[in-house]
Copies of this chain bind each other. A is one copy, B any other.
Amino acid sequence: MNDSPLTPERILDAAEEVLCRYGLAKATVVDVARFLEVSHGTIYRHFPSKAALRDAVAERWLHRVSIPLAAIAEEQGSAVEQLHRWFEQLMIMKRQKVLDEPELFATYSAIAQEARGVVQAHIVELVNQVAAIVESGISSNEFRVTDPQAAAKAVFQATVRFHHPAHASEWSDPDIDRDFAQVWRLLLAGLVVVQ
């Protein structure tokens, strides 16, 4: 038995490991407790249900995606380039995950399907980051849209083919980068027009 105190972080580490081994459908809170050599009652004191534990795992996982993106959203300089870097980073992270660990990616996609509230909050956070970039682009006269929040949501939704896990099987298409470049060119052209 590990003598370090049983923090929520340690429980989440164990839950990730168990989910990775058994998948979402088969993994249980008892498996997590067994992995940590504690009773399942001990886990329930921190996470009152399997759903709560699943949501916390999803939240931490998505947090790892939003942190480097938040750093890009806070950079200075050309908003056009910053926006491109932001989406490029998002796509790189998603693709790396699916290529490096396809089974783990599938498990996390299944978790995301069920942890709807967590995913929605994550998307709101990402769209807010994009909106901040669009807003700075409006200030610098690079963009001429009037509603940064609406424009950010539209750009995010118009690029789902390139970052939404439902399209992961299309990311190995040899044309995928050219396809993104074309969509990007069109969206960017739209952002510089008064609408």
The interface of chain A, by Cβ under 8 A from chain B, is: 145, 150-151, 153-155, 157-161, 164, 166-167, 179, 182-183, 185-193, 195
The answer for the CA separation of A186 and B188 in the assembled complex, in Å, is 9
| 28 A-B contacts (beta carbon < 8 Å) | A145-B186, A151-B182, A151-B186, A153-B179, A153-B182, A155-B186, A157-B179, A157-B182, A158-B158, A158-B159, A158-B161, A158-B187, A160-B161, A160-B167, A164-B166, A164-B167, A166-B166, A166-B167, A185-B190, A186-B191, A186-B195, A187-B187, A187-B190, A188-B190, A189-B189, A189-B190, A190-B190, A190-B193
Q: Indicate how many identical chains form the complex.
A: 2
The answer for the CA separation of A185 and B186 in the assembled complex, in Å, is 12
Least distance between A124 CB and chain B CB atoms (Å): 12
Secondary structure at the A interface, as helix, strand, loop or mixed, is: helix
- Taking a contact as CB atoms under 8 Å apart, the answer to whether A154 and B195 are in contact is no
The answer for the CA separation of A167 and B166 in the assembled complex, in Å, is 8
The answer for the CA separation of A164 and B179 in the assembled complex, in Å, is 16
The answer for the CA separation of A145 and B185 in the assembled complex, in Å, is 11
Taking CB atoms, residues of chain B closer than 8 Å to A153 are: 179, 182
